[in-house]
């Protein structure tokens, strides 16, 4: 999947001339699950909102990096 994402990003850069940042999101679903446990959502609601919470985590981390609140990830490091 990472290779496919890289090719897609390269196409966007080339065809649209936009900046594209690739992010390692492997642990966001786990972090979303932990966050949802802390909020004590019902199991039914957990499943339906896990992707929403994971997306919010990705956005939070992106904005924090742009604000300089956390360091930029080193490409190739997990």
Domain range annotation of the chain: 25-78
Closest CA to 22 of 36, 41, 8, 37: 8
Q: What is the pLDDT of residue 69?
A: 78
pLDDT at position 77, please? 47
Residue with more model confidence, 60 or 75: 60
User: pLDDT tens digits for 6-48?
Assistant: 999 999 999 999 999 998 888 898 899 888 888 876 556 656 6
Q: Which residues contact 62 (CB under 8 A, 6 or more apart)?
A: 21, 23
Distance linking the first and last C-alpha atoms of the chain: 15
Tell me if 32 sits within 8 A of 50, measured CB to CB: yes
Residue 36: per-residue pLDDT: 86
Contact status, residue 9 vs residue 15, Cβ threshold 8 Å: no
pLDDT score for 49: 84
């Amino acid at each position: 999947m990472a290779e496919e994402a890289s090719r897609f990003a390269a196409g966007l850069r080339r065809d649209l001339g936009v900046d594209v940042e690739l992010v390692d999101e492997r642990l966001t679903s786990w972090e979303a699950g932990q966050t949802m446990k802390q909020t004590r959502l019902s199991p039914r609601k957990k499943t339906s909102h896990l992707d929403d919470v994971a997306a919010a985590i990705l956005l939070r981390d992106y904005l924090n990096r742009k604000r300089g609140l956390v360091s930029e990830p080193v490409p190739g490091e997990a």
